[in-house]
């Protein structure tokens, strides 16, 4: 990811509307998915007895994950970083009251101080030859033993293909299959903890959502999470 890239500046003001044009086919809102990702992450972290206080939202965009990072994970300090200055301006205005901070990636130097880095739907926008560098940046943001939660759209899910085709900034994205994401993270100095899938059932089949957890290790969901720990072994 470039340190300063205006690509998403043009979408900053109507980002939510553009996103809703895609996710509306599921019968749910963007907040349903934002909350669902953090609820699932909390469940995974609880199994590890891991309660992050300092959280970095990498590729935060307009900051829509911010209230859920605070409410669900209980983070005491949140920093969102992104390449779009206009998106960050929207985030600052919208979430000023939460106490979260927002900076461009170029303005924040990794300091190994964060317990958790959360990243949703970012890497499919990053050029292939820049992805390893972004993983290295994330690793240097984390304290030793810190955890990285990478969420990506699942290209093996037909519904994901439909949604991404309806979103202007996702149409030309280079999708990231789960094995590619795992390899990228592992090669970047992380130990993989788990790869799980979520959002199997659309709203019309909501009565089946109690099966989401049992099905989470099968590649059916619209999104997947690679959970990894910074590896500081010699």
Tokens, residue 151: 């969420």
The pLDDT confidence band at residue 224, using thresholds 50, 70 and 90, is very high
Helix (H) or strand (E) holding 101: strand 101-104
Task: Please tell me the predicted confidence (pLDDT) of residue 39.
Answer: 98
Higher pLDDT, 233 or 175: 175
Domains in the chain, number: 1
Give the burial string for 137-151 (b: 16+ CB within 10 Å, else e).
bbbebbeeebbbbbb
Task: Please tell me the predicted confidence (pLDDT) of residue 4.
Answer: 47
Q: In this structure, is residue 5 part of a structural domain?
A: no
Backbone dihedral region for residue 210 (phi beyond 0: left; psi -120 to 50: alpha; all else: beta) = alpha
Q: Provide the residue range defining the domain that includes 114.
A: 23-230
Task: Please tell me the predicted confidence (pLDDT) of residue 164.
Answer: 78
Residue 3 has pLDDT above 60, yes or no: no
Q: In this structure, is residue 110 part of a structural domain?
A: yes
Q: DSSP state, 49?
A: T
Residue-wise pLDDT for 90-112, tens only, equals 999 999 899 999 999 999 999 99
10 Å Cβ neighbour count for 232? 13
Q: In this structure, is residue 146 part of a structural domain?
A: yes
- Segment 40-64 shows an average pLDDT of 97
pTM, rounded to two decimals: 0.91
Residue 148: which of 4, 35, 234, 52 has the closest Cα?
Answer: 52
The CATH number that applies at residue 33 is: 3.40.50.150
Q: In this structure, is residue 95 part of a structural domain?
A: yes
Residue 91: which of 124, 72, 69 has the closest Cα?
Answer: 69
CA distances from 58 to 119, 141, 151 (A): 5, 10, 11
* DSSP codes joined into one string, 167-229: STTTTT-----HHHHHHHHHHTTEEEEEEEEE--S-GGGGGGGGGTTTTTTSTTSSEEEEEEE
- Segment 120-132 shows an average pLDDT of 96
Q: Angle, nearest 10°, between helix axes 30-47 and 15-23?
A: 80
User: Whole-number mean pLDDT of the chain?
Assistant: 90
Residue 201 has pLDDT above 90, yes or no: yes
Q: In this structure, is residue 144 part of a structural domain?
A: yes
Contact 101, 75 (CB under 8 A): no
């Amino acid at each position: 990811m470039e340190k300063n890239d205006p690509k998403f500046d043009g979408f900053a003001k109507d980002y939510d509307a553009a996103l809703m044009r895609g996710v509306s086919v599921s019968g749910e809102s963007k907040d349903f998915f934002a909350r669902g990702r953090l609820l699932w992450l909390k469940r995974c972290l609880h199994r590890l007895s891991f309660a992050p206080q300092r959280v970095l939202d990498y590729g935060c965009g307009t900051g829509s994950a911010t209230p859920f990072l605070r409410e669900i994970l209980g983070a005491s300090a949140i920093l969102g970083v992104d390449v779009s200055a206009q998106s960050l301006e929207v985030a600052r205005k919208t979430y000023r009251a939460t106490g979260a901070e927002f900076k461009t990636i170029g303005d924040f130097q990794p300091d190994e101080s964060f317990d958790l880095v959360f990243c949703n739907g970012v890497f499919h926008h990053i050029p292939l030859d820049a992805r390893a560098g972004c993983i290295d940046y994330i690793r240097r943001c984390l304290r030793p033993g810190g955890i990285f939660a990478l969420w990506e759209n699942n290209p093996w899910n037909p519904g994901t293909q439909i949604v991404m085709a309806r979103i202007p900034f996702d149409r030309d994205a280079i999708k990231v299959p789960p094995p590619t994401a795992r390899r990228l993270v592992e090669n970047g100095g992380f130990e993989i903890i788990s790869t799980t899938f979520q959002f199997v059932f659309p709203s019309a089949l909501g009565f089946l959502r109690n099966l989401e957890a049992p099905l989470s290790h099968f590649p059916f969901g619209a999104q997947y999470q690679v959970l990894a720990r910074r590896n500081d072994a010699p």
